[in-house]
Amino acid sequence: MVVRLSRRPLSVASAEARLARSPGGASVVFAGRVRADLRHGSRVVALDYEVDLGPALRQLRRIERTARRRFRTVDLVLWHRLGRVAVGEVAVVAGASCAHRAEAFRAARYLIDELKATVPIWKEERGRPLRRPRRRPARRGGRTAG
Amino acid sequence: MVRAVRVRLFATARLAVGRATLDWPVAESGVSARELVAALGAAYPRLAPTLRVSRFLRNDRYLSDLTTRLRAGDEFAVHPPYGGG
């Protein structure tokens, strides 16, 4: 499927395999994964992705049509996860197969940039508070030089 | 039967109101999108900052003009800035 919004894990290998079957000579696949960012004393452990499904699918197909026309893309994939996505998991895959590498890079860049800017998908961070380092008990009498 | 516009809220808009949908009663003549946005901001002050940066849809179509009239049975979606990827 060229465009996909899925609650199941995304396979980068499947995206690469699909593009490898196309007659284009160059393919580029971008995969975005969830990072373990630090935020206000907690570490991100997952992102919850939310979507307005109808407008999102329509916009993904519009991006697909534009990419095919503008970059003479032979084939492409534009996939996004929904629901809870853990750190390290793939949240988005944008890939393009074209006749030459320059178009393939430009097309993949266009796909991910347009998705982020124009597709109604939102993320909410889920974090885990950071552990404070344990304090060592104070030594009696202290340490002296000499 | 209540004649209402179904308001659909996403992301920060949903968090500001505390729910994903609202049924907003409207008169027979309907209400303009601009009037509805103003009324929502007045009813939910925490929503007002998000409304200022949001895009709006009527029945899944983006509104380019907030003079568009909404009538009972219409859906009105509030889209805060997108954050996919």
Structure confidence by residue, pLDDT tens digits, A85-135: 999 999 999 999 999 999 999 999 999 999 999 999 999 999 999 877 667
**CA A97 → CA A2, A26, A69, A80, distances in Å?**
12, 6, 13, 18
- Residue A23 CA to residue A75 CA, distance in Å, equals 9
Task: Report residues of chain B scoring pLDDT below 70.
Answer: 1-2
Q: Which residue, among A11, A29, A30, A32, has the nearest Cα to A20 in the 3D structure?
A: A29
Of B12, B57, B84, the CB nearest to A92: B84
In the stretch 18-47 of chain B, residues with CB closer than 8 A to chain A read: none
pLDDT band, residue A137 (cuts 50/70/90): low
Residues of chain A in contact with residue B12, where contact means CB-CB under 8 angstroms, are 122
CB neighbour list of residue A29: distance below 8 Å, 6 or more residues apart: A12, A15, A16, A19, A77, A93, A94, A95, A108
**What residue ranges do the domains of chain A occupy?**
3-129
pLDDT digits (tens, 9 = 90+) for A1-29: 899 999 999 999 999 999 999 999 999 99
Of A32, A52, A116, the CB nearest to B79: A52
pTM of full prediction above 0.80: yes
Beta bridge pairs of residue A49? A83, A123
Closest C-alpha among B37, B24, B40 to residue B73: B24
* Contact in structure between B46 and B40 (CB atoms under 8 Å): no
CA pseudo-torsion sign A87, A110, B14, A50:
negative
Is A4 part of the contact surface with chain B (CB cutoff 8 Å)?
A: no
Q: Which two tokens stand for residue A133?
A: 């380092």
Predicted complex ipTM = 0.93
Kindly report, residue by residue over A50-68, the tens digit of the pLDDT: 999 999 999 999 999 999 9
What architecture is domain A3-129? Alpha-Beta Complex (3.90)
Residue range B4-79, CATH number:
3.10.20.30
Domain residue spans of chain B: 4-79
